[in-house]
Amino acid sequence: MSDPSPGSPPPALSVQSVPTPGSIVIAGMHRSGTSLTASLLARLGVVLGDRLVPQDRANPRGYFEDLDIVRFHQRVFARLLPEKTKGHADWGWTPDAQVTAGQLAKWQPEAQALVQARMRSGTLWGFKDPRATIVLDFWQPLLPNPVYVAVYRSPTLVADSMQRLAAPVFLRHPEYAWPIWQLYNQRLLDFIRRHRERCLVLNVDALPHQLNRIPQLLHDRLGLTVTPSDLPGLFDPGLLRPKSRLWHREQLSRVVYDECYSVYDQLEELADLPDKPASHPEPYHSSVLAATARSSVSPELSIVIPTFNDAPLLVEALASVEQCQPCDCEVLVLDDGSSDPESLRVLERLESVGYKVLRQPNAGLSAARNALIRHARGRLILPVDSDNRLLPGYIEQSRQALAADPGLGIVYGDRQLFGASSELIRVPEFDLARMIDQNFIDACAMFRREVWEDVGGYDEGLRGFEDWELWLHAGQRGWRFAHLPEARFEYRVRSGSLLSHCNTRWGRWRFRRHLLRKHPDLLTRLLPQPLRRFVSDRSQSADRAAGPSWPARLLLNAHWLWHWFRPRLSAPPNGESRQIATTETSSPYP
């Protein structure tokens, strides 16, 4: 959309029902389309301020937010909420406290001065700062004849947009999206009900097909007469992510976050421009669960998902499985001793619609995956981390590859990063010597159950890198791997994950030491040929139960010290070391 030229005067705009210039507030939660709505009103003639928040990567077309009012809210919110607390104080929310309109009373003179300064223009003016949404009752008596454009959006789409924003706080705590959405939209709903005659209520996802109605709605609902403008010709459809892409996630979110969707449905009933005609949402239906319930025989495939204190992310993982529409499949979830109340609540909601949730005291990721596979009935296994997402086609292509080649044991694919990075990671064809150097196969690879049985399962002596050891062991046992050269799943990149704890020099050293004891013959492949013969000769003359002889261990240790501790800050030309650095797992296991 082309934004109004900063230097050109806006078209004339008046309030028919008010004899003097009024004011207009664009209200709605962050990432809900308020910037898009504000840009439309600016095109139609509303003056939204002389000093606006500058555009940035997250909003390259501009925020249309009055910089002084934004800074006012930020300063006041920072004073009202404790420092260094959980939550997101800048948006007025923490788990234990939220900003209310009554708390702003002492700042009323400062806010009044901001209003008076904007009234001097003699034209209709307005402002947009999503933070105002939770304190509209504070602004209402200060504004001259105010009217409101209330904007809302599906909580699933807002939560997804907050993740794509890539702000560190939401990458670490994606679960924050839901209570923040609840706070903002409940406050918005309550305000609309008290001041319905002053509010135009819009679902932003209805705008692309209803842009021509905006001038008439502004006139009919708020008494605003605007100069016509070709809004459809200015609109960029790419500004809004298609709702259909997240259909499965939204359906499951309705089960887990029914309080949010109760507010959303009430807004839809009140809206002047709803997303769709009012209708009662249908009960949640899972094609995977339905197929499992109908079948009396063991499924071919078991998708196993361990979770530990991150169950809110399971919604995305399970929805991605549903989006793949796999047949002859079961889904098993294991709670590895979660203590987080929100995770426990989410797991209960998932159980209520039929997902099978196993439980055990916390034993670590290796033990959790082994327990899941022991309970699984399928002859094919696909582990999925609770914070990652499958992409369509992965399940069926992996099945086809395994069915076509009985000697094939493991199928893996490339991965698309999301969260703190959006890079496409292309991984190489399998090579055991290369795998000894660094892991490039994620845990999200489909394998035959016989592979797991042959290697004795995931090594429960490891706290991290357990999938790497499994692939090395399988390769050592002669199992073959196949690479699907396309992105087949989405890998979440965030801080605080298991990888961030174990992928340190000390963590890699412990893993190296573990491998040296368990797979000494395998590790000699790293050595140059003359040294490899030396180690083999010394190992053959030593007691096999005791492992490699001390000269062999000394040589392997020296070589691995160099190998593991060499600088890895700059990637080679093909970028492999940086790709591999985020391979192991992003689950939040301690």
- The residues spanned by each domain of the chain are 13-241+254-270, 287-502
Torsion, CA 67, CA 71, CA 89, CA 134, rounded to 10: -70
Residue 405 has pLDDT above 90, yes or no: yes
What pLDDT, on the 0 to 100 scale, is given for residue 402?
97
Q: Which helix (H) or strand (E) holds 252?
A: helix 247-256
How confident is the prediction for the chain on average, in pLDDT? Answer: 84
Query: What is the value of pTM for the model shown?
Result: 0.85
Torsion, CA 446, CA 451, CA 457, CA 459, rounded to 10: -90
Break the chain down into helix, strand, coil percent, rounded to 5. 50, 15, 35
Query: Taken in order 180, 186, 188, 191, is the CA torsion positive or negative?
Result: negative
Give, in order, the Cα–Cα distances in Å from 312 to each of 321, 350, 366, 509: 16, 10, 21, 33
What pLDDT, on the 0 to 100 scale, is given for residue 556?
58
DSSP 340: -
> Does domain 13-241+254-270 correspond to CATH entry 3.40.50.300?
yes
Instruction: Look up tokens 């699984």; give the residue.
Output: 376
SS3 359: strand
Q: How far apart are CA 495 and CA 43, in angstroms?
A: 41
Burial class (CB in 10 A: 0-12, 13-18, 19+), 353: middle
Q: For 215-289, where are the E strands, in sequence order?
A: 224-226
Give, in order, the Cα–Cα distances in Å from 418 to each of 165, 166, 402, 572: 11, 9, 28, 23
Q: How far apart are CA 72 and CA 29, in angstroms?
A: 17
Amino acid at 398: S
Amino acid at 288: V
φ, ψ for residue 357 (rounded to 5)? -115, 115
Q: How far apart are CA 131 and CA 107, in angstroms?
A: 15
DSSP assignment of 157-220 equals HHHHHHHHHT-HHHHH-GGGHHHHHHHHHHHHHHHHHHSGGGEEEEEGGGHHHHGGGHHHHHHH
Beta bridge partners of 493: 419
Asked, colleague to colleague, whether 13-241+254-270 and 287-502 share their fold, the answer is no
- Among 466, 285, 497, which residue's Cα sits nearest to residue 367? 466
User: For 207-241, how does the pLDDT look when each residue is reduced to its tens digit (9 = 90+)?
Assistant: 888 888 888 899 889 988 776 666 766 666 666 77
465 or 370: which leads in pLDDT: 370
Q: What burial letters (b/e) apply to 162-180, b meaning 16+ CB within 10 Å?
A: bbeebeebbbbbbbbbbbb
6 or 85: which leads in pLDDT: 85
Q: How far apart are CA 537 and CA 339, in angstroms?
A: 52
User: For 121-170, how does the pLDDT look when each residue is reduced to its tens digit (9 = 90+)?
Assistant: 777 899 999 999 999 999 999 999 999 999 999 999 999 999 888 888 99
Annotate 486-543 with three-state secondary structure.
EEEEEEEECCCCHHHHHCCHHHHHHHHHHHHHHCHHHHHHHCCHHHHHHHHHHHHHCC
Beta bridge partners of 369: none
CATH topology of domain 287-502: Spore Coat Polysaccharide Biosynthesis Protein SpsA; Chain A (3.90.550)
- Among 401, 417, 467, which residue's Cα sits nearest to residue 440? 467
Angle between helices 466-476 and 365-375 (to 10 degrees): 60
The mean pLDDT value for 393-398 works out to: 96
Angle between helices 341-352 and 247-256 (to 10 degrees): 110
Show Cβ contacts of residue 9 under 8 Å, excluding neighbours closer than 6 positions.
Answer: none
Show Cβ contacts of residue 575 under 8 Å, excluding neighbours closer than 6 positions.
Answer: none
Q: How far apart are CA 284 and CA 120, in angstroms?
A: 54
Beta bridge partners of 410: 447, 481
Contact, 388 vs 492, CB < 8 A?
Answer: yes
Q: For 250-309, where are the E strands, in sequence order?
A: 301-307
What pLDDT, on the 0 to 100 scale, is given for residue 7?
40
- Among 474, 467, 496, which residue's Cα sits nearest to residue 583? 467
Q: How far apart are CA 580 and CA 441, in angstroms?
A: 8
Q: How far is CA 332 from the centre of its chain?
A: 21
Q: How far apart are CA 211 and CA 234, in angstroms?
A: 10
Angle at 14 between CA 10 and CA 15, to 5 degrees: 145
- Among 232, 225, 241, which residue's Cα sits nearest to residue 211? 232
- Among 263, 96, 127, which residue's Cα sits nearest to residue 191? 263
User: For 193-207, how does the pLDDT look when each residue is reduced to its tens digit (9 = 90+)?
Assistant: 999 999 999 999 998
Residue 507 has pLDDT above 90, yes or no: no
* Model confidence band, residue 438 (pLDDT cutoffs 50, 70, 90): confident
User: For 1-58, how does the pLDDT look when each residue is reduced to its tens digit (9 = 90+)?
Assistant: 334 443 444 444 444 443 344 899 999 999 999 999 999 898 888 889 889 999 888 7
* Model confidence band, residue 582 (pLDDT cutoffs 50, 70, 90): very low
- The answer to which of 59-73, 448-462, 504-518 has the lowest mean pLDDT is 504-518
Name the CA radius of gyration of the chain, rounded.
29
